[in-house]
Structure 1
Amino acid sequence: MGKLSMAAASILCMALAALAAVGEAAVVEHTFVVHEMNETHLCNTTKIYVVNGQFPGPQIDVTEGDTVVVRLVNRLPHGLTIHWHGVRQIRSCWADGAGFVTECPLPPGGDHTYRFNVTGQVGTLWWHAHVTCLRATINGAIVIRPRDGKYPFPTPAKDVPIIIGEWWQLDLVELDRRMADGNFDDNPLSATINGKLGDLSNCSGVPEESFVFDVEPGQSYLLRIINTALFSEYYFKVAGHTFTVVGADGNYLTPFETDMVTVAPGEAIDVLMAADAPPGHYHMIALANQPPLPDPQIPVFISRGLIRYAGVPNDNNGLPVPVPIMPNQHNTMPSFYFHNKLTGLAYPERHRVPMHVDERFFITLGLGSICRDPTKKVCKRRRSNETIVVATMNNVSFHPPTTTSLLERYYDGTGKGVYTEDFPEHPPRPYNYTDRAMIPPGPLEEVLEPTFKATKLRRFKYNTSVEIVFQSTALLQSDSNPMHLHGYDFFVLAQGLGNFNPKRDVYKFNYHNPQVRNTVQVPRTGWAAIRFVTDNPGMWYLHCHFEFHIVMGMATAFIVENGPTPETSLPPPPPEYKRCGANGLSQP
């Protein structure tokens, strides 16, 4: 009896220990009420869409391993989904929140619960609306802290999100409609830092409010820099200070010093900033870059904030406040150099590059056109009134469904007639992809721009090693392309300028410590090579994170089949999931 009691006690102790270990993970719950709100900036009152009255929206703070539960309440007159950008969603594809890809939009007056785990990721991610252009104001940070509380760099005194965005006066739903019609001439009025336009923007001589960050001399701060903008990549600097880059997209990086961060739409970059300058006030600047002429030009988008040392008077002791020297807005090379410096902090047991490749893709990214009259096969090109400008991948412009979701159709086996699984592995014809003579007024682009809209996907077996080389082109414009893959992190093996040369450029691939990302900035008229293994079953959206590119069709989706066990298979939809036919679908 005694021996049995001791054995039972031992088992009980082990069970309690296991429960204690499990109990370390928490359930983090939020309620997101999405509604309209009026905001006045630059002498105009504008209707915007927000969560809980906040712009940017609420920050989600979790510890690695926690479960997140968000109840979404839609008080908008439009459909809505929320995407948890960069969260791996292991076996929880149903919660990914990609409109018409993994779910239909939540209709006005509806509520929906998202539930997912945050495992194997530490750093900064973010969340945003994923229907129409609503992510311009419906967004916020996701901060994932290490479970043991230890960082591979000095622990900062404080961390703060630096959310770079844009201020739009045009209604965002109308903006989406215009872009879907091939119009990308609309522009925001200003850049924003944490929702503030900054004192460089003014109306009748009254400057806008700036974001202000108070620091203590001698302390170190972790800046979590996120680009939520619809249109632009941004340069970010703080006068008199340097940064140590330590992470990106929820993964650690090999630290390196820089005085400027470049962040593309969709990216999240973590940097340490030491408050080691002479105590005073210092301006921070977020400046949008853009290609030079002959590309279509946009106004200068800039926001200015303030670093303020404790104990310094509001007048900065009568001294002028230093302003950082920024690159020319048309100089995109600093972006290329910055992204090329990023390498991963090696964790061989977790981050091992697959050395074999099962499937290879060469994907060109550019613009094209379709005839405005669908009954015509021939129409006048070169941005004429007879055509609609679209965005393409391998000359296919993605046509998403509008009454169903791709994941539901795949799961139910009813995808026939909704999508095909023949997304091309390469463009239909080779050409000089980066010839800037293809930017209008042309005429070299005319023969290359005809394309078509289709819902072409690609299916992969579980545990397939996939390599993609993205090639930015100069077809109709020469912009960069921040490519985001849902449900996966991938290795960025290399980036380069010009046309990718498979015989030469493969020798540049970094197999030792490549950066691990969910969004890769494919440089202007350049290329980027990524590799990943399909170990997460489901339906996963791949798209450019420039909003006009995604609305105009620079997207596809990858189907990943189930693995051999229940643990490697997509489970049935959870009880809280609302199927398209049963949720009173309302299109935006």
Structure 2
Amino acid sequence: MATETSTQSYSEKWYWDDRYTNESDPFDWYQNYPSLSPLINLYVPHPTHRALVIGCGNSAFSEGMVDDGYGDVVNIDISSVVIDAMNKKYSDRPQLKYLKMDVRDMKAFQDASFDAVIDKGTLDSILCGSNSRQHSTQMLEEVWRVLKDKGVYILITYGAPNYRLRLFKESSCSWTTKLHVIDKSLTGQPLETPKWELTKPIPLDDEGSSVESAIGKSPDVHYIYVCIKVGTPWFDGVEGVTQCPILPGEIFTYQFVVDRPGTYMYHSHYGMQRESGLIGMIRVSPPSTEPEPFTYDYDRSLLLTDWYHKGMSEKATGLASIPFKWVGEPQSLMIQGRGRFNCTNNMMTPQRSEAEVCNTSHADCSRFVLMVIPGKTYRLRIGSLTSLSALSFQIEGHNLTVVEADGHYVEPFTVRNLFIYSGETYSVLLKADQNPSRNYWITTSIVSRPEKTPPATAVLKYHPNHPRKHPPTPASSNFRPEWNDTRHRLAQSVAIKARKGFAHAPPENSDKVIVLLNTQNKVNGYMRWSVNNVSYQHPTTPYLIALKHNLTNAFDWRFTPPERYDSKSYDIFAVPSNANATMSDGIYRLKFNSTVDVVLQNANTMSVNNSETHPWHLHGHDFWVLGYGEGKFNEMEDPKRYNLVDPIMKNTVAVQPYGWTALRFRADNPGVWSFHCHIESHFFMGMRIVFASGIDRVANLPSSIMGCGQTKRLV
């Protein structure tokens, strides 16, 4: 009974005042700074970062941080005795500040004050006392509040994942959580050969059940949870959803924390502006302490696009006109911004001769050249930001080994043709192992639509060959699949699995299922794309601002788009019997942290025997791709075949003609998020929906995103 009483006292102020009155020597709970410094340096990499150590006691941990170069370490404790003693001890070290404060009520600190909060046993102490759940929730919510966006809460604890993860979920905070472990024996001097590699995260699923298989049952370790605060949804960059448009002459700065290695892209999200060229790729390398699961000698990026000669405004006007004026097929495909067009008799003017217009010998008209050294391995990061085209990418005579998709490692598999859809990124490994005396064609060609646009060509140049030494074979000999070969494209999608050791298994069940039928329709005579017979209507006031500031008449708050369509009677293989649809700016509201299944169902367009490929992109989340199928989705039978073991996580996924794709995501990122077809004209014509969740958790919005619609009065 005495032990129980003593343990319960850990949450009481009187206990700590008494202890520090009688025990003045420094004491470090769980671990000291030397043993934890590699992890602190990893997640708090800059000496200028401001750190808060909660429940500091008389530990020398913070002193170790300052000795290591950190310049602003704030310490709080509930005991006035120890705070007085530490202020006296470190009066000559301005980098260290000590304040008496209860971690459950840190109102002396403003929101978003710290880059990191470090906790060695404070949460554990609170859990020892009465009303422990309530008090621990108060503490976690205060920690979340004082952290900056993407700030880290580093919790060192004896609590196993099945207990601590449950506690995190009970609070109103949204975290991205990683788990590390450290031997308890490292509390003193570090061992020469520790059993666990401190800086390598342990695989962690939502329930914590994956940990036992990785480190065994009841290991003699301290658990270290690195919880990254989620929270800059206003920098997602979608006009009308998260911010007002950036006006001509204005400067807008997007600020975000890079929190995961991989291959990503950026582009304009206003109207059909993306295809005008405001696009690019972002390459994120992992920390040196986290080696990738494959090796290569060189890293290269290739961006694939298509190009129209008509301007953005002319095309948008045609799409929004009666009669409807389709934009047509692109005139060119491009590899790394370079493509060709047979301009004879197309662009002649009295002022410009054929030689001037079609001067393919000009440097600006030359093909892109990728130089390789024989015997070396190259990582090619390939992204597609086409406005219309789905593509097949291939390199003559070479296999491509797929190792990454949308920022997630995949089980390696080899292809001759990489099928890639707008919005997707892949990393492939290319071995320069062919005859080095010649060069080879790189080509990309259109799939899923009749091939009216010629393939784009580039050159794989083996060093030291001349870059203009053409391959001896014609470019047309570089094998590419038939444009309507759906089965091979579907087979590649099914083949993509999460890499062993990096897989994050999805929750076994979902809280909500939404089935979305993609159709082509008419609204008041205008040609539109619709989802469950509702075509998206763009608001003039961004949803995020309207919801956060309770602007109830900024959009139709009362209307929730349908979560199903009439699957029993709707014939997906026929032209719609009723082509009329409605328009709405209503949104789907999701319970925060709920698990949502979305099934995307393709159907016939308004043309006979025609169904198109749609690449769907979700903002603010990655999702698990659970399965694909041909024909109509069967809600009773098809979920039985979902891959719940090693599904890949992505942010963009294709739905094949007359087929379906099922995905699952956790609505754990507070904000308002667009989910849309990544084909520019389809997106423009209404093929998108909007999800909102956890708006009450979103911090105060910056005035820089305001100024349009009803937000004018908020600036």
Give the structure-2-normalised TM-score. Answer: 0.64
* Cα distance in 2, alignment partners of residues 458 and 325 from structure 1: 44
**What aligned pairs does 1:199-238 form with structure 2 within 5 A after superposition?**
201=342, 203=344, 206-207=359-360, 208-238=365-395
Larger helix proportion of the pair = 2
Indicate the residue corresponding to 2:445 in structure 1.
287
Aligned partners of 1:26, 1:253: CA distance in 2, in Å?
35
1:500 aligns with 2:633: yes
Give the letter for the 1:398 counterpart.
Y
Contact kept? 2:395, 2:442, Cα under 8 Å: yes
Contact 1:107–1:583 at 8 Å: present in 2 too? no
Deviations 1:494-545 (A, max 9, x none): 0111111223322321000001010110111100000111111110101100
Count of residue pairs the alignment pairs up: 489
Using a 3 Å threshold, how does the CA distance of structure 1 residues 165 and 259 change in structure 2: closer, same or farther? same
- Residues 615, 655 of structure 2: 8 Å contact kept: yes
Conserved? CA contact 1:281–1:321, under 8 Å: no
Alignment-derived partner of residue 143 in structure 1: 283
Q: 2:328 aligns with which of 186, 190, 209?
A: 186
In the alignment, residue 130 of structure 1 is paired with which amino acid? H
Structure 1 residues 239, 317: closer, same or farther in 2, change over 3 A? closer
2:681 corresponds to 1:548:
yes
After superposition, residues 124-203 of structure 1 pair within 5 angstroms as: 124-136=263-275, 137-148=277-288, 150-181=290-321, 182-198=324-340, 201=342, 203=344
1:425 to 563, 578, 586: 563
- Contact 1:281–1:307 under 8 Å retained in 2: yes
Is the contact between residue 282 and residue 306 of structure 1 (CA under 8 Å) also seen in structure 2?
yes
Pair 1:453 & 2:474 matched: no
Q: Which amino acid aligns with 1:129?
A: S
1:116 shift after superposition:
1.2
* Structure-2 residue corresponding to 1:52: none
Q: Map 1:401-420 onto structure 2 (within 5 A).
A: 401=539, 403-416=540-553, 418-420=555-557
- Does the Cα contact within 8 Å between 2:625 and 2:664 map onto a contact in 1? yes
Aligned twin of 1:311: 464
| Structure-2 change in CA distance of 1:558 and 1:346 (3 Å) | farther
240, 247, 261: which is aligned to 1:122?
Answer: 261
Aligned to 1:478: 611
Q: For 2:480, which of 304, 326, 340 is the aligned residue? A: 326
Aligned partners of 2:230, 2:394: CA distance in 1, in Å? 36
Counterpart CA distance in 1 for 2:644 and 2:42 is 35
1:446-477, CA deviations, whole angstroms, 9 ceiling, x for partnerless residues? Answer: x3211011112111111111111110111324
Partner in structure 2 of residue 522 of structure 1 = 655
Give 1:557's aligned residue: 690
CA contact (8 A) 2:601 2:658 kept: yes
CA contact (8 A) 1:113 1:577 kept: no
SS at match of 1:468: strand
Output one character per residue of 1:111-166: Cα deviation in whole Å (capped at 9) or x when no partner. 111111222x3211100000012111110001111113654443222221111111
CA separation of 1:192/1:17 partners in 2, compared to 1, >3 Å: closer, same or farther? closer
Question: Residue 453 of structure 1 aligns to a residue in which SS?
Answer: strand
Structure 1 gap segments, 5+ residues each: 28-65, 69-87, 293-297, 372-386, 439-444, 564-568
d(CA) in 1 for partners of 2:673 and 2:426?
Answer: 23
TM-score (norm 1): 0.77
CA distance in 1, matches of 2:701, 2:471: 62
State the 1:352 CA deviation: 2.2
1:252 corresponds to which letter in structure 2? Y
- In the alignment, is the contact (CA less than 8 A) between 2:442 and 2:459 conserved in 1? yes
- Structure with larger Rg: 2
Partner SS for 1:116: coil
1:429 CA drift (Å): 6.3
Please say if residues 183 and 389 of structure 1, whose CA atoms lie closer than 8 Å, have aligned partners that are also in contact: no
**Does residue 1:92 correspond to 2:232, yes or no?**
yes
Secondary structure of the structure 2 residue equivalent to 1:466: strand
Structure 2 vs 1, CA of residues 17 and 285 (structure 1 numbering), >3 Å: closer, same or farther?
Answer: closer
Once the two structures are TM-superposed, the CA of residue 430 in structure 1 deviates from its matched residue by: 4.2
| C-alpha contact 2:399 2:430 (8 A) present in aligned 1 | yes
Paired with 2:342 and 2:501, the residues of 1 have a C-alpha distance of 45
Whether the 8 Å contact between 1:89 and 1:95 is mirrored in structure 2 is no
The 1-side partners of 2:704 and 2:274 are apart by 23
Change in Cα spacing, 1:239 to 1:202, as seen in structure 2 (3 Å) is: farther
Could you tell me the percent identity over the aligned residues?
26
Structure 1 residue identity aligned to 2:335: I
CA distance in 2 between partners of 1:344 and 1:505 (Å): 21
Is 1:133–1:547's contact at 8 Å kept on the other side of the alignment? yes
Would the aligned equivalents of 1:449 and 1:475 in 2 still touch at CA under 8 Å? no
Q: Is the 2:319–2:527 Cα contact (8 Å) retained in structure 1?
A: no
Deviation at 1:346, TM superposition (A): 3.9
In 2, are the aligned partners of 1:132 and 1:173 still within 8 Å (CA)? no
State the alpha-carbon separation in 1 of the partners of residues 427 and 664 from structure 2: 23
Greater strand share, structure number: 1
Tell me the residue number matched to 1:241.
398
Residues 461 and 562 of structure 1 are in contact (CA less than 8 Å); yes or no, is this contact kept in structure 2? no
Higher relative contact order (CA 8 A, sep 6+): 1
- How much does 1:415 deviate? 3.2
Letter in 1 for 2:439: H
Alignment partners' CA distance in 2, 1:318 and 1:480: 33
The match for 1:253 among 384, 403, 410 is 410
Cα deviation, 1:61-109, whole Å, max 9, x if unaligned, reads xxxxx999xxxxxxxxxxxxxxxxxxx9931111000110101101111
The 2-side partners of 1:574 and 1:309 are apart by 51
Report the Cα distance in structure 1 between the residues aligned to 2:274 and 2:471, rounded to whole angstroms: 41
C-alpha contact 1:26 1:67 (8 A) present in aligned 2: no
List gaps (5 residues or longer) in structure 2: 1-22, 49-147, 151-227, 345-353
Alignment of structure 1 residues 96-111 onto 2, 5 Å: 96-111=236-251
CA distance in 1, matches of 2:501, 2:37: 31
* 1:299 CA displacement: 2.2
The Cα of 1:584 is off from its aligned counterpart by 7.9
Q: CA contact under 8 A between 1:107 and 1:584: conserved in structure 2?
A: no
Question: Against the structure 1 CA distance between its residues 290 and 11, is the aligned structure 2 distance closer, same or farther, given a 3 Å change threshold?
Answer: closer
**What is the aligned counterpart of 2:45 among 13, 17, 24?**
24
